[in-house]
Amino acid sequence: MHYSSIKKHLRPYNIFARRKTTINHAFASAIAPNDEYDEVRVRLALKVLGQDPDDALKCVYCDNFAQTWDHVFGTVKNSHFSGHGHRLGNLVPSCKACNSSKGNKDWKEYLQRKGIASGLTIEEIQIREELIQKYLTAHSYSDSIPEHSADYNRLLEIRDEVLDLLKEADILAARIRDSVLPRD
Ligand SMILES: [Zn+2]
């Protein structure tokens, strides 16, 4: 580690800047529809994906052991619900590294890049792509949120009020910081 990395810690902490994305994400994620857990359905879905449900699950992108479930299509886009929920067909086993580096990127592009970087052939990448595509298609759905409903509009208002409160808190925090007398 280089000493200069301390730089970013020697700045005042800004609540709004540091938490804005988290708040937007939470509000969008909270209205994303979800599937109920159904063991039979989950087991069948994993077989479509070419995995053995009785074995440790593998990351669909890189074949390492999976520790997480990746939303193939993120639940949030441009700070709003994307139309893709917490549903079986939108959740695939993933290793931690792939889950965080894929983020909201297009899954096909990510899969290709990952495959090429891991030395896979075009054919091998294609087989993976087809398995994931089959899995997505087998559980396809479309969710739309009543974006013009009173409830939806009120929810967005509440979100904005929360964000405004954070901005106000930052102003107070700065004043408090400035009023702190250095100890000697
Ligand atoms: Zn992976």
pLDDT in tens, 31-43: 999 999 999 999 9
User: Encoding tokens for residue 36?
Assistant: 């109920």
If you measure from the C-alpha of residue 64 to the centroid of ligand 1, how many angstroms do you get, rounded to a whole number?
6
Question: Distance, CA 167 to ligand 1 centroid (Å)?
Answer: 38
Terminal-residue alpha carbon distance, the chain: 31
Predicted local confidence at residue 90, as pLDDT = 93
Share of the chain above pLDDT 70, in %: 98
Q: Separation of 67 CA from ligand 1 center, angstroms?
A: 9
pLDDT of residue 86: 92
Give the contacts of 32 (CB within 8 A, at least 6 positions apart).
75, 81, 84, 85, 86, 143
Tens of pLDDT, residue by residue over 97-143, are 999 999 889 999 999 999 999 888 999 999 999 999 999 988 877 77
Give the Å distance between the CA of 61 and the centre of ligand 1. 5
Q: Ligand 1 centroid vs 60 CA: distance in angstroms?
A: 7
98 CA to centre of ligand 1 in angstroms: 4
The answer on pLDDT for 158 being more than 90 is yes
Whether pTM exceeds 0.85 = no
Backbone dihedral angles phi then psi of residue 88, each to the nearest 5 degrees: -50, -50
pLDDT at 102: 94
State in Å: Cα 104 to ligand 1 middle.
Answer: 15
